[in-house]
Amino acid sequence: MAATPLPLEVRNITKRFGETEVLKGLSLQAHKGDVITLIGASGSGKSTFLRCMNLLEQPNEGELLVHGEEIQFKQTRHGREPADWNQVVRMRAKLSMVFQSFNLWAHMTLLENVIEAPVHVLGKSKKEAIEHARALLERVGLADRADYYPAQMSGGQQQRGAIARALAMDPEVMLFDEPTSALDPELVGDVLKVMRDLADEGRTMIVVTHEMAFARDVSTQVLYLHQGIVEEAGPPAEVLDTPRSERLKQFLAPKH
Amino acid sequence: MQALSEWFTELLADNTIFTAQTLGYYGSGLVTTVQLVFLSLIIGLVLAVPLAIGRSSQRRWIRTPIFLYTYVFRGTPLLIQLYLIYYGVVFFDGIQETWLWVLLEEPFVPALIAFTLNTAAYTTEIFRGAIKATPRGEIEAARAYGMSRRLMMRRIILPSAFRRALPAYGNEVIFMLHASAIASVVTIMDLTGAARFIYARYYAPFDAFLFVAAIYLCLTFAILYLFRYLEKRLLAHLKPLEQ
């Protein structure tokens, strides 16, 4: 039906850790240019859901399609696993992730961090990758930090560097896992600004966040997760301004 | 200062021990020690890298034999290992008729084998610890960016682990230098062997052994200096900038 395949689609994902079922059948469709924010209390499963999308966690059930290509799974005695790891590697290269604790590679300079995956995973030439990386660092305001090691930068700088690393992959979809939660309050603004810019230029993004202002202003769709299910979903104005469930009302109520 | 130089001049004047001949013994002992230590360290290092990767494997049938190897070689004295290899090899039937005997007859090769296996065992465990200590987040990032296991090992885990292992490995190098002194018990004329020979000849323990101790100190100093240089270069990424 659709002329162009969706950048990312997940259907009925479930995930169990031992006896505990943390995701109870979650679905999501990301169209090109969508900014989908996942909100919910800690333990609601939102980070796990995001990590299932690039298979950092293996979902027990459900389907996953990246740019229309369905990921194949097989049953083993350890549970369900991807049937073809090469396919997973290919698919991950299309979805780049930004982590809560940045996770830059500590033994590489910022520039080396940004060109690492484009050169060694995508097979780009080093020269081309460096040019692209410099432009991206310029964009996130870190042009003068290219030769610094992660330990020599502030948290906000590291996170903007990590966003540059994600952009360097030319990803179909960017996954953000609480990108501002580990930052000092005065550093959050710079990171959110970069993310707003990305949304404005039409990047497809899925963002797990506690920043309600960001969710309200930037996202095209908000999913409120509670105990492993989507309790409410829709445009931000609807979900955040006129919540239907008592629980979401409570969640959104100003904290004292 | 004056007193010291007078004492030294006097020492040289009635010196009967440190002749051109005995200094020659020390010289060739130094060469033997450096060869033995350097070769065993290099081969041990080359062996330790794949062993450490295997030792960190999730598959038990890879991990366990390597653990047994490191356990045995770290769990028994190097001297016993040297005895077993040097004296024990004769008891393999027919080995004296093969070309191997040319190598094993002389003590140098058995000592080299014992030292290599010993240092490889320690180095394997040093690297294993460093591999295990790779920050989880960095591994997750590597996976999330589409790296295969092999690429991740080569680009992220090993470069990070080698740097972390550097100070501990520097210690192992110094340890091997000093452990090599026991080569002299299987008649190798290394530094210690030369010192023992000269002691036996002149019955001058202080002269013979203090002199050789000074040479070991100099060698250790060179190693310390080398590792300090390497750490400064390779561990720069862990040092925050001075404000």
| Across B35-57, average pLDDT | 97
Query: Do A152 and A178 belong to one domain?
Result: no
Domain assignment of residue A44, yes or no: yes
Domain assignment of residue B84, yes or no: yes
Query: Do A78 and A1 belong to one domain?
Result: yes
Query: Do A83 and A184 belong to one domain?
Result: yes
Which residues in chain B touch residue A53, judged by CB atoms under 8 angstroms apart? none
B190-219 b/e (C-beta count within 10 Å ≥ 16 → b) = bbbbbbbbbbeeeebeebbeebbeebbeeb
Residues present in chain B in total: 243
Dump pLDDT digits (tens) for B75-120: 999 999 999 999 888 787 777 777 778 778 889 999 999 999 999 9
Which residues in chain B touch residue A108, judged by CB atoms under 8 angstroms apart? 237
Could you give the CA distance from residue B83 to residue B19 in angstroms, rounded to a whole number? 33
pLDDT at position B203 over 70: yes
Which residues in chain A touch residue B241, judged by CB atoms under 8 angstroms apart? 148, 152
Domain assignment of residue B212, yes or no: yes
Query: Do A122 and A105 belong to one domain?
Result: yes
Domain assignment of residue B175, yes or no: yes
DSSP class of A8: E
Q: What is the pLDDT of residue A155?
A: 93
Range of the domain at B99: 28-232
Of A89, A101, A149, the CB nearest to B146: A89
3 state SS of B161: helix
Of B140, B144, B160, the CB nearest to A106: B160
Query: What is the count of structural domains for chain A?
Result: 2
Helix-, strand-, coil-residue percentages of chain B, each rounded to 5? 85, 0, 15
For the packed helices B108-132 and B78-88, what is the interaxial angle rounded to 10 degrees? Answer: 140
Q: What is the CATH number of the domain that holds B65?
A: 1.10.3720.10
Token output for B222: 């060179």
Of A85, A96, A103, the CB nearest to B140: A103
Query: Do A130 and A237 belong to one domain?
Result: no
Radius of gyration, alpha carbons of chain B: 23
SS (H, E, C) A39-60: ECCCCCCHHHHHHHHCCCCCCC
Size of interface A-B (CB pairs under 8 A): 77
B146/A105 touch (CB, cutoff 8 Å), yes or no: no
Query: Do A135 and A82 belong to one domain?
Result: no
Q: Are A29 and A81 in contact (CB under 8 A)?
A: no
pLDDT at position B19 over 70: yes
Residue B159's pLDDT band, with cuts at 50, 70 and 90, is very high
Query: Do A28 and A113 belong to one domain?
Result: no
Q: Are B115 and B37 in contact (CB under 8 A)?
A: yes
Burial of B174 (0-12, 13-18, 19+ CB in 10 A): middle
Per-residue pLDDT of chain A (256 residues; tens, 9 = 90+): 556 889 999 999 999 998 899 999 999 999 999 999 999 998 899 999 999 999 999 999 999 999 999 999 998 888 889 999 889 988 998 999 999 999 999 999 999 999 999 999 999 999 999 999 999 999 999 999 999 999 999 999 999 999 999 999 999 999 999 999 999 988 899 999 999 999 999 999 999 999 999 999 999 999 999 999 999 999 999 999 988 888 999 899 876 5
Domain assignment of residue A143, yes or no: yes
Q: What is the CATH number of the domain that holds A231?
A: 3.40.50.300
Domain assignment of residue B11, yes or no: no
Domain assignment of residue B38, yes or no: yes
How far is residue A122 from each of residues A3, A70, A117, B9, measured CA to CA in Å? Answer: 26, 20, 7, 71
Query: Do A213 and A181 belong to one domain?
Result: yes
Domain assignment of residue B226, yes or no: yes
DSSP string, B95-134: GGGSTHHHHHHSSHHHHHHHHHHHHHHHHHHHHHHHHHTS
Query: Do A79 and A182 belong to one domain?
Result: yes
Q: Which helix (H) or strand (E) holds A140?
A: none
Domain assignment of residue A195, yes or no: no
Query: Do A160 and A60 belong to one domain?
Result: no
Could you give the CA distance from residue A120 to residue A143 in angstroms, rounded to a whole number? 23
For an interface test with A, the pick among B58, B59, B145 (most A C-beta atoms closer than 10 Å) comes out as: B145
Which residues in chain B touch residue A114, judged by CB atoms under 8 angstroms apart? none
Domain assignment of residue B21, yes or no: no
A92/B143 touch (CB, cutoff 8 Å), yes or no: yes
Which residues in chain B touch residue A151, judged by CB atoms under 8 angstroms apart? 237-240
Contacts 24+ apart (CB under 8 A), B160-165: B160/A105, B160/A106, B160/A107, B160/B134, B160/B135, B161/B127, B161/B130, B161/B131, B161/B133, B161/B134, B162/B127, B162/B130, B162/B234, B163/A107, B163/B234, B163/B235, B163/B237, B163/B238, B164/B130, B164/B133, B165/B126, B165/B127, B165/B129, B165/B130
| Across B181-190, average pLDDT | 93
Q: What is the pLDDT of residue B193?
A: 94
Query: Do A89 and A182 belong to one domain?
Result: yes
What is the value of ipTM here, to two decimals? 0.91
Q: What is the pLDDT of residue A35?
A: 95
Radius of gyration, alpha carbons of chain A: 18
| Across B135-154, average pLDDT | 95
Query: What is the count of structural domains for chain B?
Result: 1
Domain assignment of residue B191, yes or no: yes
Could you give the CA distance from residue A256 to residue A46 in angstroms, rounded to a whole number? 24
Domain assignment of residue A197, yes or no: no
Give the amino acid at A144.
Answer: D
Q: Are A160 and A191 in contact (CB under 8 A)?
A: yes
Give the closest-approach CA distance of B222 to chain A in angstroms.
26
Range of the domain at A113: 98-170
Token output for B20: 């051109």
Give the closest-approach CA distance of B129 to chain A in angstroms.
17
For the packed helices A155-167 and A185-200, what is the interaxial angle rounded to 10 degrees? Answer: 20
pLDDT at position B243 over 70: no
Domain assignment of residue A242, yes or no: yes
- Per the model's pLDDT, the better-predicted residue between A66 and B14 turns out to be A66
Query: Do A179 and A75 belong to one domain?
Result: yes
Of B147, B159, B236, the CB nearest to A121: B147
